[in-house]
Structure 1
Amino acid sequence: MDTPTPELQTMSLGLYDVVQFALLGAGFALFAYFVYAWNSKDEVSVRYRPSALAGLCLAGVAALAYALLYQDWDSGFSLQGEVYVPNEEARTSEATRYIDWSVTVPLLTVELLAVCSVAGAAARALRFRTMAAAFLMIVTGYLGSQVLSEGRDRTALVVWGLISTVFFVYLYVALIGAVRRSLPTMGAEAGASLRNAATVLLASFGVYPLVYAVPVFADVTPAWFTSMQVAYSAADVVAKVGFGVLVHKVAKLRTAEDVAAGTDTHHEPVWSSHVHKSDGVLPELRGVARPDGHRA
């Protein structure tokens, strides 16, 4: 018990408002992405639809989590004079984040792999391993930062942080490998978008262990705690909204490539950035009578 609990910081009026702004801003962005994902899921073919559905699910979970985070923040502090004083309810805010991540981070791996070219049994095995690694990365980090000694034991933070890092490194290796194997199978524009999506996801992943490590090296002050909340909120928006929009672009471009190559159909034209990529092609109907009396 040799470091203060990050969540139980007495906050000045300004710092309290900054965190509140970050939570509301991230929550609104995630809700907007949920609406976008819902309305755009049919823009991609069935082959890449799992990516769109994973993005839709994680947007819904994350938006709900931020509604709960705001409630935790609002009820976890009381204004006393010129400062906001925390109560025990304030501790639940970080637990809510970890619950959110334990669902949404595995879904992020599904979203990326669904637009890669790994298929069949290899795809199923890779998807299972990356989802398991993502979940274990979050759970082991949660043990160190929240459960053991209420996150105030530097030794527990280091040990469980290192265990979490093992899964973190595996995710990097597995996802980068899947992206590299997929690039030769798609067009240049789709490949560039896939690289950008992977870069955004993996770069935003790097924010979380950096913030996790703060209590290991320094006492957490109200200013540090504010920075942690803002960093987590910003990283969530980048990793879920920014990444999701890029992956959706990959799915649309790959849909257009498949339609143009004649290997798949799509019920409507595909457009990306106001550029027409392919026409709508309906599936061939079997056993339907034609006007000449013959059957197709």
Structure 2
Amino acid sequence: MDELATNIHVSPKLKKFITPEMYARDVDVAGLSVSDSQGIRRDAQGNIYIKVKNNFVNLKITKGQYFLKSRETYIPLIIKKDRIYLENLSHRLRRLQSEGLSGRIAKPHQVIQHKLGMSEQQAKTLLDNYDFPQDSELYTEVNFALWIKESGQIPEWANEFKLLEFENYCPRFKSPSVQDNGLYSFDGAEGYAYRVDVNSPDLILKQGFTSSHDYTAIGKMIPPDEPCVIVAGDITGALRYKTLVKDSYLYKIRLTNTRGVSLKDNLMRNQDGLKLFLAENTKRITELSILWAATVKAQFIWTKCISIRMILIPKR
């Protein structure tokens, strides 16, 4: 009965997340308190546990925040309506934001320096490798530093804001040609691209993709007389864009001998040509540094204009 009651308190995702190596050893079951409304039990020393899969798992509580011990790290948890969940990203960032920086170590680089055992310059250099959006309340240097302070690791969400390393850049398109507009184009591309589109699969399979006409911040990158569609070369970028387009669908497109232009490739290998193109075709962007906000960070993903004539829609 106690096991059944405890399982009700633990979310399915958390229960699945807990593995045998997380089980507490040598627990004096007879000395534990009765489960409270959240399924938490305590021993005489003040240690707290939850029971999962007929085993006990040790929790830690700091400033009202519960953590699950996993080897040498602690996994944050949240409790909602007497049920225990793994903490989601939004909740964690808002919690870190509310804690803020205080005391002698009051700057982000100082927190990183202290936690990771770096020199002050190394910590500053690490921060300089990221460019967090100025209008975000959650994705900030402070939350980045506090995340490292809490976990000892660089957060995965920060990868989205890591600056491109030009010297380590490996171009996807090996032999570009230069168009009349100064941009590098590619030909013969294979693989997959991803497109966000408001048209339903039934319509797409019936008539194909409609040629793109709205290029938002950047003008059309392939010749004006050639129909094309805007795609992302990786699914991460497409999913990011999909959050901005209501009631849209995500399509995976197989490329076969496809021609087009990559914004990212031009940013990395052809900055002079890209600057010239922007100056002549785009009024909103006058400097490459403005690309971030104007293109929803499209220059950091494989955003491409590809020839619509080269896309084959499979028959039903």
- In terms of fraction of residues, the more strand-rich structure is 2
Pair member with larger Rg: 2
Both proteins in one fold, TM over 0.5: no
Interval of TM-score (by shorter of Structure 1 and Structure 2): under 0.3
Choose between structure 1 and 2 for higher RCO, CA contacts under 8 A separated by at least 6 residues.
Answer: 1
- In terms of fraction of residues, the more helix-rich structure is 1
